[in-house]
Amino acid sequence: MKHLYESREDGRAGMGEPGWALSFFLGLIHVSLIFDGIIFLPNMIGKATGTPADQVAFVTFATLLVAAFGTFLQAFSPKNLGSGHVLFMGSYSAFLACTLMAVDMGGLPLLATMTLLSAPVVFLYSYFLRFLRHIVTPAVGGVLIILVALSLMPIAIELWQGGDSSQPHFGSSQNYLVGLVTMGVLVIFMLFGSHRLRLWTPLLGIGAGCLAASFLGLLTLEHVRHAPWFGLPEARWPGLALDFQMAWLPLAGAFFIAALVSAMEGTGNIMLLQQISVKGFRKVDYTCIQNGLYADGLAKGLSGLAGGAPVATFCDNIPLLKMTRVTSARVGLMGALILFVLAFMPKVSGFLLDAPSAVIGGMLVPICAMLFYAGFGLVMRSGLSFQMGLILGISLCAGLMAETRNFFPSIMPVDLSPILQNGVAMGGFVAIFFSTLLYLFPRPGMALHLTPAPAAMPTLLEGLEKLKGRFRMGDEVFLRLRLCCEETFSHLIEYAGESDRKCLFSVRLWEEGVFVEVIIGETVDEVDQGMRPFTGINATEAELDRIGLLILSRMAKDVQHIHISGYTYISFVIELS
């Protein structure tokens, strides 16, 4: 397991892996919170279409099995598959409109086919992620997380009121009190509870809410009473719709858009997980994001083959990891096991569905608050220029407009509703569009293809000399630029000097200064490792060997070292003032 149970946030040593019993308990808490979301699409198919109950039961069964397998992959993380974090998977609301449309047009076989066809979209997005490294940044990921919180808040408020206006106690004082008790217990223990007590905070909140609901007559066990203990769905596999028709092209486009939205949100989810789970977090690991998205794409394909609903990564429960401070992959493994068992135990899953809506709503409010905190943390960690700040502000406004679901409805095409009525999708696309535009805008500079060898150093220095006049740099700025480029290239020579591959040395004039990026198709020892200051007296031999990197870290700003798809990307900024 890669990610250990962290007992403290101050960077001191943790307590090792949690026991399997504690992991099972925490996995159950996670599943309890998101179970209705995991089977959201199958439930909506049953409520909004004329699909027979036994077929809906089969879709639910298949979706649960695939969600369990996808969650297992994310936690276990075999080679090049899975993020290695506690990342649950289940049906995804962005697919709601196209899912219902598919069932209406061709039944469950067409839904299975479209779900299967959407999987390559995620694979392609993940494979080409290295070309998006300047576009899908931690700041953009932070905006996606903030938009997720904004989209969850109306759901939390509706659940707090009772879940549905057709319910007899919707908007009643009983629901208000139940949600308030749940939220109050959670917030109090999160603020003032000890570390060990914080482990029990989710259970204490749910327990207090359910106790209040029982006292006020809101706790019913309808699903538990009517569901069998064990069972398999009576319906059979629906099959695939192989007679593709031209009339299905708009539907396929809607599925592709929804799949791209899920990949974008998955990127933000894994960025957030790294910030929470990785001790001493310093930067985003894009290889981890790629592997997590590969598992996402595989789960989508398997869901289509199995006859289930489209699945994607879940972020609703991620703040629980911050709340309990237990981020071990064991929790994800036990959560996957619980989902697998629930697929065969309708009575137990019925008990989770019987949890009062006000309790779930009361839990979601502090969870949304923690999502806001985590999203802003990602945004501010990378720093903001004026241009990027404006882009992110516009993206948030676009997401808020989409969440109103009333943006020129008589003009906007219905087929674009997966984007236009989804705050995460709309805000994410706006952020990526403007980030792409900003990146592609012509900037003065140079690009050199160099072999990482001492003989190529004069060529690099000659190119930098030519840029000095073009950029009108002062002597002090140019000396810092030259020294940082020399140290970076020397580092490449040391670790990739025997390679025949050339590296791309790019120097561009950006708003915040002179931006330098080096790309090489080799794995190079990291240049942005934290290094303590030292003197010649107390320095070790290893520290003296890395003195050039210490100089780089002091003279340059925003030094980054990224590995994606076997390529190494080193970048930094030299400020002009």
Residues 328 and 460 in one domain: no
Last residue of a domain, one of 323, 347, 374: 374
pLDDT score of 232 more than 90:
no
The pLDDT value recorded for residue 498 is 61
Residues 370 and 466 in one domain: no
Q: What is the mean pLDDT of the chain?
A: 78
Q: Is residue 411 part of a domain?
A: no
- Nearest-Å Rg of the Cα atoms of the chain is 26
Domain count, the chain: 2
Q: Is residue 193 part of a domain?
A: no
Residues 366 and 449 in one domain: no
More confident residue, 534 or 136: 136
Rounded to an integer, the average pLDDT of 12-16 is 39
Q: Is residue 249 part of a domain?
A: yes
Residues 370 and 449 in one domain: no
More confident residue, 222 or 430: 430
Chain segment 522-548, per-residue pLDDT in tens? 777 777 654 455 455 555 555 555 666
Q: Is residue 210 part of a domain?
A: no
SS3 at position 520:
strand
SS3 at position 574:
strand
Residues 348 and 450 in one domain: no
Residue 372: what residue type?
F
pLDDT score of 33 more than 50:
yes
Last residue of a domain, one of 316, 340, 374: 374
The b/e string for 469-498 (b: 16+ C-beta within 10 A; e otherwise) is eebebeeebbebbbbbbbbbbbbbbebbee
Residues 24 and 105 in one domain: yes
- The Cβ of residue 266 has, within 10 Å, a number of other Cβ atoms equal to 28
Tell me, what CATH number does 472's domain have?
3.30.565.10
Residues 66 and 158 in one domain: yes
Rounded to an integer, the average pLDDT of 197-225 is 76
- Torsion angle, CA of 533/539/543/549, rounded to 10 degrees? 40
Residue 31: what residue type?
V
How sure is the predictor about 352, in pLDDT bands with cuts at 50, 70 and 90? Answer: low
Last residue of a domain, one of 374, 406, 424: 374
Residues 107 and 234 in one domain: yes
Range of 242's domain? 20-163+222-374
Rounded to an integer, the average pLDDT of 202-223 is 79
Residue 570: what residue type?
I
SS3 at position 98:
helix
pLDDT score of 146 more than 70:
yes
Q: Is residue 86 part of a domain?
A: yes
Q: Is residue 347 part of a domain?
A: yes
Residues 346 and 452 in one domain: no
Helices and strands in the chain: count of H runs, count of E runs: 22, 7
The pLDDT value recorded for residue 418 is 57
The pLDDT value recorded for residue 196 is 64
Residues 138 and 249 in one domain: yes
**E strand or H helix at 564:** strand 557-564
Phi, psi values for residue 545, rounded to 5° = -65, -25
Residues 452 and 370 in one domain: no
Across 20-24, 202-206, 309-313, 564-568, least confident range? 202-206
Chain segment 370-421, per-residue pLDDT in tens? 778 777 876 776 666 777 788 888 988 888 888 777 777 777 666 666 567 7
CA distance 34 to 89: 10
46 and 65 in contact (C-beta within 8 Å)? no
Q: Is residue 491 part of a domain?
A: yes
pTM above 0.75, yes or no: no
Residue 49: what residue type?
T
Residues 355 and 452 in one domain: no
Q: Is residue 14 part of a domain?
A: no
CA-based nearest residue to 35, from 349, 306, 368, 371: 349
**461-to-377, 477, 486 alpha-carbon distances in Å:** 38, 15, 8
**210-to-192, 313, 451 alpha-carbon distances in Å:** 22, 28, 66
